[in-house]
Amino acid sequence: MKLTTTSLVIIVLMVVLTAVVIRIMMKTPVVMRLFETFDGSVSGQLLNSSTECPSGYQLYMYDGAAYCCRGNVNPDASNLKGSCIPQVTETKDSLCSLGPSTSVPNCNDLHAGILQAKGEAICPPSRPNFCNGPTAGSVGRCCASAVNEKGTDCIDTQPSHMCDVGTDPNIFKNQYDCRYARMRESDTCPAKYSMFSAPVTEGPLEGLAIYGCTNFKDTCHPGNMIAQLKALNYDVSDLKVC
């Protein structure tokens, strides 16, 4: 079949029109977000991205990109900020991105910041790195080593190199509780005294683990520990304050 001049002109015009339409579509926000999410440097790989949301966040898509929201997702939002309604009044750290983004924090950075803040508030100095814990009911775990990529456990899981965060307000019932270890390691003894920790087998403090200071002639106990025992309504009259 022989093409006429008119037919050739029509074909050329169609090709040009198709190219223009494709170019316009590539510049639209939805397509650009999709492109940036999966190919931020035209490499075909994610840039500084994680694969799942931090604990307490839910995954959702907005404008072709993946985000995590600590709150309620608003599917009718006209902008990214309005797509996530925080559970609490403050909006800080309620929204993060699973891909490269300049408008909200990256979830990797946000997750690391959350774990670091919890470690500074909960963990003992000897095991300063906080993770969420390997089980669903875990309150948290503190590690001497770094934590794994998901933030669920210590890389080094030797028992002496980690501790678990308990839920009982009476931290003296478990000397292996991270909160007990933090308090003990934060207290100091007088000069020429050494710190010890031991379970109490009799008396008003029976069943508890307490710590103190000794020079092998005299024994005393840090005032902070005595004050906390007193706040739990224990008789501390037999304990000498350092």
- Give, for all 242 residues of the chain, the pLDDT tens digit: 555 556 555 655 565 455 544 444 444 333 333 333 333 333 223 333 456 787 778 899 988 888 999 889 998 888 988 899 887 665 667 888 888 766 888 888 877 888 888 899 999 999 999 998 888 778 899 999 999 888 889 999 999 999 999 999 999 999 999 999 999 999 999 999 999 988 999 999 999 999 999 998 999 999 999 999 999 999 999 999 99
Specify the DSSP class assigned to residue 204.
T
pLDDT given for residue 178 in this prediction: 95
Residue count (the chain): 242
Distance between the two ends of the chain, CA-based, in angstroms? 106
Distance CA 199, CA 192 (A): 23
Distance CA 217, CA 209 (A): 21
pLDDT given for residue 29 in this prediction: 37
Quote the strand ranges of 44-155, DSSP E.
Answer: 58-62, 65-69, 71-73, 84-86, 95-97, 129-131, 141-143
Question: Which residues have CB under 8 Å from 122's CB, separation 6+?
Answer: 130, 140, 142, 165, 178, 179, 182
Provide the token pair at 114: 């959350």
Closest CA to 144 of 154, 133, 131, 134: 154
pLDDT given for residue 17 in this prediction: 55
pLDDT given for residue 126 in this prediction: 94
Distance CA 193, CA 218 (A): 9
Q: Looking at the whole model, is its pTM more than 0.75?
A: no
C-beta separation of 189 from 198 below 8 A:
no
Sign of torsion over alpha carbons 100, 104, 110, 111: negative
pLDDT given for residue 2 in this prediction: 52
C-beta separation of 161 from 146 below 8 A:
no
